[in-house]
């Protein structure tokens, strides 16, 4: 079974530039998450999709971050314009949304390491 | 709001010694708790999860954790550390409400194995 695919693995941009990250979840997984992991901290949820609808984006800085999952499969996370404090690893995760969803495992991709200079 | 506290940002043990990584949670409802491991430049891998079926949970790679409601704890243990266990470990609690079920993570504990 293929895992969660993310690209690119690394990205270096200057502040005020824009950047986009791509994620392809495990086939059949209806739920997709984007997390931000700043160095030395645990991942923080940015946004959760159920199919192509947003379930939770309460921690997404909407003035500069946006995300979409138009066809309910792969997803794109965008930052525009980037700030120095956006330097982090951006992790995508997916899970199969069954009836007992709260104990369902989330599978993580390898992440995209963003450096803003 | 739910939260997780991991005591000790770094833990160092000798190879073959007991591993104990501490996690305390705060939750107003019965929690769903997870331990994940992260190797350098990798994503997170599930070690084990507590789902109320049993208080002692066994996971992969010889790890286990015990849920103690009275202490609001979910500490991770392994009887004998191996060099390959060196990694970052995260405790997480799953939130719920309105369909939102994202994980809330602790800050992580870096496990160092001394030869």
List pLDDT tens digits, range B15-68: 999 999 999 999 777 788 999 999 988 889 999 999 877 889 999 999 999 999
Of the candidates B43, B42, B17, B21, which has an alpha carbon nearest to the alpha carbon of residue B33? Answer: B21
- How many angstroms away from the CA of A86 is the closest CA of chain B? 18
Residue B114, token pair as written in the block: 């001394």
A46-67 per-position pLDDT tens digit: 999 998 899 999 999 999 999 9
- How many angstroms away from the CA of A16 is the closest CA of chain B? 26
User: A44, B105: Cβ pair inside 8 Å?
Assistant: yes
pLDDT tier, B85 (very low <50, low <70, confident <90, very high otherwise):
very high
Of the candidates A44, A84, A88, A53, which has an alpha carbon nearest to the alpha carbon of residue A71? Answer: A53
């Amino acid at each position: 079974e293929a895992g969660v695919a993310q690209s690119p693995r690394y990205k270096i941009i200057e502040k005020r530039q824009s950047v986009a990250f791509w994620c392809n979840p495990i086939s059949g997984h209806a739920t997709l998450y984007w997390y931000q992991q700043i160095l030395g901290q645990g991942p923080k949820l940015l946004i959760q999709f159920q199919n192509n609808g947003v379930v939770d984006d309460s921690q997404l800085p909407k003035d500069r971050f946006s995300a979409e999952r138009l066809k309910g499969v792969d997803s794109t996370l965008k930052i525009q314009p980037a700030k120095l404090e956006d330097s982090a690893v951006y992790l995508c995760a997916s899970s199969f949304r069954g009836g007992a969803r709260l104990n369902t495992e989330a599978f993580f991709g390898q992440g995209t390491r963003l450096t803003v200079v | 709001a739910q939260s997780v506290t991991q005591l000790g940002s770094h833990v160092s043990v000798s190879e073959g010694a007991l591993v104990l990584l501490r996690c305390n949670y705060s939750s107003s409802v019965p929690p769903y708790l997870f331990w994940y491991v992260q190797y350098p430049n990798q994503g997170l891998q599930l070690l084990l999860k507590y789902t109320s079926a049993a208080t002692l949970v066994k996971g992969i790679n010889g790890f286990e954790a015990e849920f103690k409601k009275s202490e609001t704890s979910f500490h991770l243990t392994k009887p004998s550390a191996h060099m390959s266990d060196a990694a970052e470990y995260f405790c997480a609690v799953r939130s719920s409400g309105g369909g939102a079920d994202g994980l809330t993570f602790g800050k992580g504990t870096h496990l160092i194995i001394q030869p």
